[in-house]
Amino acid sequence: MIGSVNLLLLAAAVSAAVPSPAQMEGKTCTEFGCHADLQVKAVVHEPVARGMCQPCHAQAQENTHEFRLSFPKEALCQACHILTLKNHVHQPVQDGRCLDCHDPHQSEFHRLLRADPSKQLCLKCHAEDPFMKKKHLHGPVAMGACILCHDSHSSWKPKLLVAQGNDLCAVCHEDTMRRDQQARHLHPPVTGDCEQCHDPHSSDYPQQLREESRKLCVSCHEDVGQRIAASPIVHGAVTEKQQCQNCHAGHSSSLPTRRGTRVLDTCLGCHNEERPRPNGTRVANMAALLKENPNHHGPIRQADCSACHNPHASALPNLLTEAYPELFYAPFNADNYKLCFRCHRSDLVSAKDGQGVTEFRQGNLNLHYVHVSKPSKGRTCRACHAVHASKSPAHIAEVVPYGNWKYTIKFDATANGGTCAPACHAARTYDRTAAPPAAQPPAGAKPAQ
């Protein structure tokens, strides 16, 4: 372990006669009682333990108690210790400044170190390094246990590292790495270099991430970054708290790099209370809404909120993925309803003959067509349907917004149709088995205020 101690020199040094006062005859400097305190600590340097001072101290003048070092400080230790150094050498070792780290006589710490190498030793010189001043210090760095990653004398690896790349991290984070390997979905860069995302020493961001989450992630996911930068509406979830990590796991997950088990749980993690929009309006408490309205829309039953919402940013109100009219009335054009028609057939509205297309019929007359398919004031789906959940069948809304007003719709399903009691118009009933309604006026006259 100790390397090769130059025993010849040791022997020569011991035999070199040191002139001493008569009363010192036969005694070493420690036995004489003056320097016994150099042999009391837990670790005593072998020559000192043996009372051999001469190898390092030579009397400056005969019969005086003045000593000089036998060799220049920078060469003293190498007189006995031939260190086998590797190609990358630590500067103070290169400079022969052994005494900066080692006490020549004795120490409370192993290897005669001047301080605990797993706490203070390295910080004697490195405490001022810029990385020590950041907010979040990596566990071993905070302790000062630099030697867990760095060799103190020299190394075959650059930066005096004891191991390189992810092998270094694996020494302590095998559990995390094993968890990732076993996860259903692994974020591909995690199998690459850990230092792409983490600084081994410290960072101003939690988990020693190299950057604020959002910047770190979009440094690789440029498309997401561009979308966020280009969209007038950016989801608060991307900018608040842990940013991208609010919804995504950095390493692995049971879903494609996503936190939690289902998208819905991720969303309801925040939307379990009202949230203010930047413009001052408030976003509904979706968890409560879904709880109070047991009849959930298909994609919500599949826990897929991102079927309709872009979780990051959008040019459309409410972060919608596709067009959907914002107001009570809108001219009909299938393009304005792309959101619904991604999953529902558009002839649900556009076909006048509703047979085989929709259940919302008077006889064969498609009442969706009647209400919605108008060149100017077509009623939008929200005039009748709640998009997330409702208490009624067919997601008929209880309350419908009309300008600043709210209408209550009292919908009752019947065996062959349904009844819509006074709201937009006097109570009306539709019946799919009815004769063709040639003589009937179209349903849904202008709403009574």
Contacts to ligand HEC from residues 364-383, by CB under 6 A: 368, 371-372, 379, 381-383
Hey, which residues between 166 and 185 contact ligand HEC (CB under 6 A)?
166, 168-169, 171-173, 176-177
Hey, which residues between 423 and 442 contact ligand HEC (CB under 6 A)?
none
Span interacting with ligand HEC, options 17-25, 58-66, 208-216, 433-441, rule CB under 6 A: 208-216
Hey, which residues between 239 and 278 contact ligand HEC (CB under 6 A)?
240-241, 243-251, 256-257, 263-264, 266-267, 269-271, 275, 277
Q: How far is the CB of 127 from ligand HEC (least distance, A)?
A: 8
Hey, which residues between 4 and 23 contact ligand HEC (CB under 6 A)?
5, 10, 13
Span interacting with ligand HEC, options 16-24, 58-66, 389-397, 434-442, rule CB under 6 A: 389-397
Run of H or E residues at 176 = helix 166-182
Measured distance CA(265)–CA(303) in Å, rounded: 8
Task: Output 293 or 449, the one with its CB closest to ligand HEC.
Answer: 293
Note whether 230 and 249 are within 8 A (CB): no
Q: How far is the CB of 335 from ligand HEC (least distance, A)?
A: 12
What the block records as the tokens of 346 is 């558009």
Q: Which residues contact 428 (CB under 8 A, 6 or more apart)?
A: 419, 420, 443
- Per rule CB under 6 A, is residue 330 in the interface with ligand HEC? no
Contact track, ligand HEC, 45-74, x by CB under 6 A: xxxx--xxx-xxx-----------x-----
Hey, which residues between 129 and 168 contact ligand HEC (CB under 6 A)?
129, 138-141, 144, 146-150, 152-153, 159-161, 166, 168
Half-sphere CA count of 89, side-chain side, radius 13 A: 13
Measured distance CA(66)–CA(144) in Å, rounded: 39
Span interacting with ligand HEC, options 19-27, 58-66, 282-290, 433-441, rule CB under 6 A: 282-290
Hey, which residues between 214 and 233 contact ligand HEC (CB under 6 A)?
214, 216-221, 223-224, 228, 233
Task: Output 343 or 399, the one with its CB closest to ligand HEC.
Answer: 343
DSSP secondary structure string, 145-169? -GGGTB-SSEESSGGGBSS-THHHH
| Token pair 């230092």 in the structure block, residue | 195
- Per rule CB under 6 A, is residue 79 in the interface with ligand HEC? yes
Measured distance CA(76)–CA(55) in Å, rounded: 9
**Cα–Cα distance list, 40 to 13, 29, 35 (Å):** 23, 14, 10
Q: Which residues contact 5 (CB under 8 A, 6 or more apart)?
A: 80, 81, 82
